[in-house]
Every structure is written in structure tokens, then in C-alpha cells.
Amino acid sequence: MEAVILAGGKGSRLMPHTAEVPKPMVPVGGRPIIEILLSRFRKAGVTKVHLAVNHLAEQIEAHLRDGSKLGLEIVYSKEDQPLSTVGPIRLMRDLPDSFIVANGDVLTDLSVKELFDFHREHGAELTVATCHRHDRIDYGVLDTDDNNTVTGFIEKPSYSFRVSMGIYVFSKSILDVVPQGKPFGFDELVLEMLRQKRRVMSFPYTGYWRDIGRPEDYAQVQEDIVEIKGLVE
């Protein structure tokens, strides 16, 4: 298996933790989160990683180098301009017919081998690892009609959504949807694939998952350290 890791973002939402380091280098349990992600990928059978970098790329390259200390081959692809989440993949050469794609700030015990096998078994062009996330609204929520008459009320409701975990499997065939040299996000990719009626699958997962894109999520990961000790070592 080969993987693409998206590690070029500025991590603005995670300030001040990303004031001087790129988001994938933010530590969890004493190790950069991208190193933890790469170690798990290697254990699952990934042999080569294409790393999309931009912001503070020199720090990532200086730490990971060619990947040999992690038992991987790492090749770097640097954007000349920000290309959002999917745009950088269009720049890469020699990608296999199917490959894993992951954000560089994801912490999970998901087996990417199971995800990869699921993708191929279902003949998908895009498979998205997903989990349920519960969000609570800390206010009373009112339903109203067109005349502003209150028709319903819920005190501090909780909602459950199936959300993307930031780990996917791409078939190389879908890169023809991605414009060359222009910003193009994952949301745009999915919407265009659905419009074209191309096969997109969800891989539901119930294990541990966090991304550290927001300070509150990063704080939660630090609280989870005892629970996830085996994951970060």
C-alpha cells in the first residue's frame, strides 16, 4: 500500500500551538502527531508515503527525512501556492491505482488495511472513513413558522452526525475530477463525484478517533493520553 499525507496547512485554528511549528509536528505524548500516524501506517503495511507540504515544510522534512527511520520511503511534494485539501494530490506523480489519503493531524486506531480492502471489495472510486460525532447545543432551540409563531422547543438538544475522519482511499481514476494547479477541496470532490454518479462509499468506524484541528480537540487528546498510551508509543 501507498499513502498520501496532506501536511501543508497553516493550522490557524490551532493557534497558539502552531505559532512556530506546523500542525503535523504538534506533539502528542511526546511525539509529533504525523510520526504517530506514519508509524501506524507502516505497521498496517504501507511502504511508501507521498507527503504534501507547504507551510513550514522544512521542519517536517528535517524531522522525517527520507522516512527510513520509520521503515518507510517518503517523497515530498511542495505546493507553490495553497491548493486546499485535494488539489495537492493532482501534482503527484507515480501514484498507484488505489492509495490511502489522510490529513496530517489525525489520531486514530483505525486499521487502514481494513479500510483499503473494503474500498477494493466494494468497487469504490472513493471511500471515506466515518464515525459518529455528538454535538450539544448549549441553548434552548425554538422552531418557528413563517409568522414567527413558536411551534416547538428543545432545551439544549444533542445531535449526532456521521462525519469524515480525514482518512480516505482514492482510486487514481478520480483525479480527472481535480483541476490542475487550482485550489480544490474535499467537499468539492465529493459533490462533483455525486453529481457524476460515481461510486462513493462510507467505511463506518467506532474506535478511537480525534483530529487536533481545534484547541478543544487537542486538549481532549492530552486528557486521553492514558487511554491511548499504546497508540502513541
Residue 158 makes CB contacts below 8 A (sequence gap 6+) with 134, 135, 136, 137
What residue ranges do the domains of the chain occupy? 2-131+162-232
* Residue 121 in grid coordinates: 471489495
Cα separation, 85 vs 178, whole angstroms: 11
* Residue 62 in grid coordinates: 528535517
Q: Which helix (H) or strand (E) holds 194?
A: helix 186-195
Nearest to 30 by CA among 225, 198, 206: 225
Q: Is the distance from CB of 168 to CB of 175 less than 8 angstroms?
A: no
pLDDT in tens, 119-136: 999 999 999 999 998 888
pLDDT in tens, 142-178: 999 999 999 999 999 998 899 999 999 999 999 999 9
pTM (2 d.p.): 0.89
* Residue 81 in grid coordinates: 501556492
Q: Which fold has domain 2-131+162-232?
A: Spore Coat Polysaccharide Biosynthesis Protein SpsA; Chain A (3.90.550)
The catalytic residues are: 156
